Amino acid sequence: MANQAIGIDIGSHAIKIAVLERKGATTRALRLFRAVVAGDTDPWWARSWSLDNLRQRGGLRPLAEVLAFDIDPAEREDGQKLLLEAGLVVSFLVDGECAPVREAHAELKRALVGGRVHASDVEALTEALLANESELRAFSDL
């Protein structure tokens, strides 16, 4: 499957990751951001609030299910939870300190900028995420 936006073949699995990153980035920007406000004692208040919301919804499902990003519009509550989970994954990519995930994400970004993305770049990021699911859970305390 060709990604028409950048004109390269990145495979169907990569499309799932692209959708997850796009939806997750939106959720991260809206609900898991770091707020820098004078006098604010907790710049991560929005993330804390969102993670509490995720806990109230039963916590984080297995990461492989989040990465599959199978969202059913008829299941509104589950869809909202999946968006929170996708936002958490993006927050982990952007704000986390897990070296293997950061390296795989940086490589994917370099490949995107260079116009040379391959399915293997996305698979490497997916594998790094899955191999470090415990780090994601520690990052989020879920």
Backbone angles phi, psi at 98, to 5 degrees: -80, 110
- Residue 131 pLDDT > 60: yes
DSSP assignment of the chain equals -EETTTTEE-HHHHHHHHHHHHHHHHHHHHHSPPP--TT-S-TTHHHHHHHHHHHHTT-PPPHHHHHHT---TT-HHHHHHHHHHHHHHHHHHHH---HHHHHHHHHHHHHHHHT---HHHHHHHHHHHHHTHHHHHHHHT-
- Residue 5 pLDDT > 50: no
Quote the percentage of the chain above a pLDDT of 90: 42
Q: Taking the domains of the chain in order of start, what are their residue ranges?
A: 2-140
> 4 pLDDT band (50/70/90 cuts)?
very low
Q: Give the tens place of pLDDT for each residue, 15-67.
A: 455 556 666 666 655 565 666 666 667 777 778 888 999 999 999 999 999 98
- Residue 8 pLDDT > 80: no
Q: How far apart are CA 138 and CA 134, in angstroms?
A: 6
Q: Give the tens place of pLDDT for each residue, 57-114.
A: 999 999 999 988 888 889 999 998 998 898 899 889 988 999 999 999 999 889 988 8
What residues pair up with 136 in beta bridges, in sequence order? none
- Residue 10 pLDDT > 70: no
pTM above 0.85, yes or no: no
Yes or no: say if 79 and 70 are a contact pair by the CB < 8 Å rule: no
Q: How far apart are CA 126 and CA 13, in angstroms?
A: 9
